[in-house]
Amino acid sequence: MPQAMDLAPTGAPADPQRVKELDDLTTALNAQHGEKKSLELLDIMINDVFKDKIALVSSFGTEAALLLSLVSKVKKSTPVIFLDTLKHFPETLEYRDDLIKTLGLTDVRIIKPEPSALKATDPDGDLALRNPDACCYLRKVVPLEEALHGFDAWINGRKRIHGGSRAALPRMEHDDRRVKVNAIATWTQEMIDEEWEKQGLPEHPMVQWGYTSVGCMPCTSLPKPGEGKRSGRWAQFDKQECGIHSLDSKWDDTSGGGI
């Protein structure tokens, strides 16, 4: 039976020529557009530089409505990829559907992990509790790589204020395969709050209960007092990211053993 690793091209060695081209391209894009306001930057990336070859990847989490709203103002038919890991809170799925309707998004693609890979690698559905890196690879990294096939760039909502590995985010970077547009990387919390109120954006239902970052159910808890907004993510593990933003995202141990 196929294993998760069999489905992913992410572990293949990067093409040095492609990496060089992406290095040059992102350097040029940052020099030319890195200081532009987010809406203008998105317009240029979506309607010019990567016309018909760019997608937005959204978790429909606690801050997702902001970027989704900006993209909808530029082009409502921009492809939006949602990774349905089959482990999301019901509130997230309801919020996703509400935002799609509210913002008029017309091309939201709901991507799920391959059933045969789930059966082979996580038959009991408890892999997240034993090996969260393996679970993220199976349910997020592999499906996303397949969903992004044919795209030259993708937009995401990471911000420098999240801290950790995100503290020095450039506006444009790459993952050895395609360009990543960090359109709102420079936004402060004050900017987010002001724009949120200005647009009258709806909150994720779990914000009212104190959640400041929401992912999958097994790996999401309330933030730790005095720590960052993402401190409730994988709180019981030495882990900060799901893997879709890591160049070396791969997992080649099908035992599901702990790490």
Catalytic residue list: 242
| Residues 209, 92: Cα–Cα separation, whole Å | 14
* Token pair 């791969």 in the structure block, residue: 250
Alpha carbon of residue 149 to chain centroid: 16
Pairing assessment for the beta strands 179-182 and 172-174 based on DSSP bridges: antiparallel
Which residues are CB-neighbours of 225 under 8 A, at least 6 positions away? none
DSSP 233: B
Which residues are CB-neighbours of 195 under 8 A, at least 6 positions away? 66
